[in-house]
Amino acid sequence: MSILADLNTRLITQGLGGAGRFHTDRAIAYGTNVVGAVHPGRGGQVERFEGETDQSGVPGRPDTYQVDVPIFETVAEAVAATGANASVVYVPPPFAADAIMEAADAGVPLVITITEGIPIQDMVIAKRYLEGRSTRLIGPNCPGITTPNQCKIGIMPGYIHSAGRVGVVSRSGTLTYEAVHQLTQNGLGQTTAVGIGGDPVNGTNFVDVLKLFNDDPATEGVILIGEIGGSAEEDAAAWIAANMTKPVAAFIAGTTAPPGKRMGHAGAIIEGGSGGADDKIRALEKAGAVIAATPSDMGSAMLEAMKRKGIS
Amino acid sequence: MKIHEYQAKELFREAGIAVPKGYVARTPDEAAEAAARLIEETGNRVVVVKSQIHAGGRGKGRFREHGDLGGVKVILDGLEGGADAAVETVRRTALQMLGSTLVTIQTGEEGKQVNTVYVEQGMDIANELYLSVLLDRTTGRNLVMASSEGGTEIEEVAEATPEKILREDIDPLTGLAPFQARRLGLGLGLGGAVLKNFIPFVRALAGLAIRLDTDMLEINPLVVTGDSQVLALDGKVSFDSNALHRHPALVELRDLSEEDPAEVEASGYGLSFIKLDGNIGCLVNGAGLAMATMDIIKHVGGEPANFLDVGGGATTENVTAAFRIITQDENVRGIFINIFGGIMKCDTIANGVVEAVRQVGLEVPLVVRLEGTNVELGRRIIDESGVNAVSATSMLEGARKVVELANGAAA
């Protein structure tokens, strides 16, 4: 089992530019079922992807792949023609919020937005547009979702994953890779790794993903990776304390970040004395999470959290 | 991107948001001329000279060169001495302020040099309020925040008397509705002509914030005058840098002299760089990992010299620039390169580092930790280059090594 993405995922790529094309190729090499693409001006064309299979991905496939992906002018056409049930957005920042709304309008149930640098007001409008619609947005400014051995959506390196027992949810891309890598090395493996993104306005928050992991029978524990800015980690801590039945390990980045400075991510800023790392760490600790002192300790913190709950 | 108060007020004026009359000046003569003009135009012989820097706390701040002079000076000499006395005092004040260093609670000890002053008419203030438009991250919407405690830092109000902070959520479909503006005004205790003036003021402000993609728009204080006018006495505005592509006119307002030169250079290469006070230079991919790298250096007893995220799409040229910017910092005693390649490929980083060392040399210890996409290739490039780098397999090991080596180099 897993959450959000699995062997039944039928993915379309929105935006087949350099990054979109490269990562669509990597996804297909991993074994993800990419059924189409949307790129204005290229409707009716076909993009061929071929190469050597990523052996760390879906098992039992030939050594090479050759996939012809049909390109459509609009998301609605792509969905009608392919039955896609997920979309990944690589559209450049000025047009990305529109691409998200187009996917929602076409009824795509899951939209993962990788694009970094979308204007905040565009996301305020897109989030409002999603209200009352059944689309779940992941991101923007996120690395995507990987369910090992089943489906890879986004830009995470495939080979660091291994199918296993722990769910990962993170605001940071590269720290997700750290956690996943450590879980592979210590043998716990992952059910699904989800990047929710580093922007201040995003579609899915920690609590949404924690609920999914809590309900997923295969997930035995969760690593949560947060950072300074906002109060999503505090909200997650409150939810964990009240509802989470599974062990949680957490790491919060930005203990040493100076106030008032934006640390790379648009959302990573300590404002007016709130959003600091220490408050978040305290809240999660109080909720029973085991805190990793450094990013190198995330895997061992998970082991410790599981041990405390009697899981070995 | 931040702008100066005088620039913010110009934007307010264009949007029909009332501000006191004022003129900008870059020399004492210009300041004197501005004061003379203001007095002539308004008949008001009280003028204010305000230092223009990108930091708050100017009124309570002090000049390093003139210990008793604050960043904002109200000139009352005109009341008894007439216009000429006011103009002369303005000239003298501007002479002291311009080129001097203002230290405020937000500038840090180093302070900021004042290159521009804003000369403004004095106001007959009956009441000081607070107003801002900002993002509410919990709802993903914009929010108007108001308080009757104008002139005080809003964080202090939030701490001491949170009940005095009023909030109205802005629905992006409608903007701030008239009833919401009225509710805010009533909540602030306004009535009559003042309330009537407040409603269009706050609605125009909310509209402006969204139209111009501001990150933060704060008026503190917003003043009510003896004759029931509502005006922005101060204006603090910063913009969402991701939206500047649709506001070319705003880009012109950027004042590079207010920014750290290394940060400006880095942004030209698409690098996210923030200068810090420590001695371990950091070159990292990904904002979260870059922050965590600073944390882990501190954790093992070191001090980071910078935050640097080379980003996912960096080229060899960008990485070379990043390395050069780090080595320009004289405090740096060791460099830690920490990469977990996703989009970023380890060989790109390795080539950039090798190229940078070739260009600028390497005089401090270098610790490299590579993991992720094309890691074997990246490690091989560094090994075969002859660059004197210490390799590490985990972040923690890398951080320990670089701090140890830097301390050794310092001794």
ipTM of the complex in this document: 0.90
- Nearest chain A CA: its distance from B127 CA (Å): 24
Contact assignment for B173 to A128 by CB distance below 8 Å:
yes
Separation between Cα atoms, residue A130 and residue A105, nearest integer Å? 9
Cβ contacts of A23 on chain B, cutoff 8 Å: 343
Phi and psi at residue B84, in whole multiples of 5°?
-60, -40
For chain A (312 residues), the mean pLDDT of every run of 10, in chain order, is 94 95 96 98 97 95 97 98 98 97 98 96 97 97 97 94 97 94 97 96 96 98 95 95 97 88 72 81 96 95 96 82
Three-point CA angle A171, A176, A177, nearest 5°: 150
Nearest to B155 among A200, A272, A295 (CB): A272
pLDDT at B156 (0 to 100): 82
Cβ contacts of B289 on chain A, cutoff 8 Å: 172, 174-175, 178, 253, 295
Indicate the SS3 state at residue A73. Answer: coil
* Structure-block tokens of residue B356: 């940078």
Size of interface A-B (CB pairs under 8 A): 175
Go through B189-222 and write b for each residue having 16 or more CB atoms within 10 A of its CB, e for each that does not: ebeeebbebbbebbbbbbbbbbebbbbbbbbbbb
How many of the other CB atoms lie within 10 Å of CB of B66?
14
B373–A contact, CB cutoff 8 A: yes
pLDDT at A273 (0 to 100): 63
Residues B129 and B194 sit within 8 Å (Cβ to Cβ):
no
Cβ contacts of B154 on chain A, cutoff 8 Å: 272
> Which residue does chain A place closest to B156, by CA atoms?
A272
Residues B114 and B102 sit within 8 Å (Cβ to Cβ):
yes
pLDDT at B411 (0 to 100): 46
* Structure-block tokens of residue B23: 């003129």
The residue among B71, B50, B42 whose CA lies nearest residue B8 is B50
Q: Which residues of A are catalytic?
A: 265
Phi and psi at residue A279, in whole multiples of 5°?
-60, -40
Peptide bond into A148 cis (omega under 30): no
Contact assignment for B274 to A263 by CB distance below 8 Å:
yes
Indicate the SS3 state at residue B110. Answer: coil
Separation between Cα atoms, residue B292 and residue B272, nearest integer Å? 15
Contact assignment for A263 to B396 by CB distance below 8 Å:
no
Per-position DSSP letters for B372-386, written without gaps between them: ETTHHHHHHHHHHHT
- The DSSP 8-state label assigned to residue A135 in this structure reads P
Nearest to A263 among B245, B287, B342 (CB): B287
Indicate the SS3 state at residue A236. Answer: helix
Distances (CA, A) of A16 to A24, B307, B310, B343: 8, 32, 23, 15
- Cβ-proximal residues to B73 (8 Å cutoff; 6+ apart), any chain: B48, B49, B50, B93, B97
The residue assigned the tokens 């059924």 is A35
Contact assignment for B340 to A296 by CB distance below 8 Å:
no
Separation between Cα atoms, residue A109 and residue B9, nearest integer Å? 45
pLDDT at A11 (0 to 100): 98
How many of the other CB atoms lie within 10 Å of CB of A290?
23
- Nearest chain A CA: its distance from B219 CA (Å): 15
Cβ contacts of A128 on chain B, cutoff 8 Å: 140-141, 171-173
At B321, which helix (H) or strand (E)?
helix B316-328
Low-confidence ranges of chain B (pLDDT < 50): 411
Separation between Cα atoms, residue A106 and residue A79, nearest integer Å? 7
Nearest to A296 among B159, B297, B394 (CB): B394
- Cβ-proximal residues to A261 (8 Å cutoff; 6+ apart), any chain: A269, A270, B274, B307
Cβ contacts of B160 on chain A, cutoff 8 Å: none
Q: Which residues of B are catalytic?
A: 130, 218
> Which residue does chain B place closest to A199, by CA atoms?
B137
Contact assignment for B341 to A157 by CB distance below 8 Å:
yes
Contact assignment for A119 to B240 by CB distance below 8 Å:
yes
Cβ contacts of A277 on chain B, cutoff 8 Å: 295
User: Do strands A144-147 and A151-154 pair parallel, antiparallel, or not at all (unpaired)?
Assistant: antiparallel
Peptide bond into B221 cis (omega under 30): yes
What angle do the packed helices A298-308 and A173-185 form, to 10 degrees?
Answer: 60
Helix residue spans in chain A (DSSP H): 18-30, 75-82, 93-105, 120-130, 173-185, 206-215, 232-243, 277-286, 298-308
Which of B109, B136, B137, B258 to mutate against chain A (most A CBs within 10 Å)? B137
Separation between Cα atoms, residue A85 and residue A35, nearest integer Å? 10
The residue among B98, B72, B88, B74 whose CA lies nearest residue B33 is B88
pLDDT at A272 (0 to 100): 64
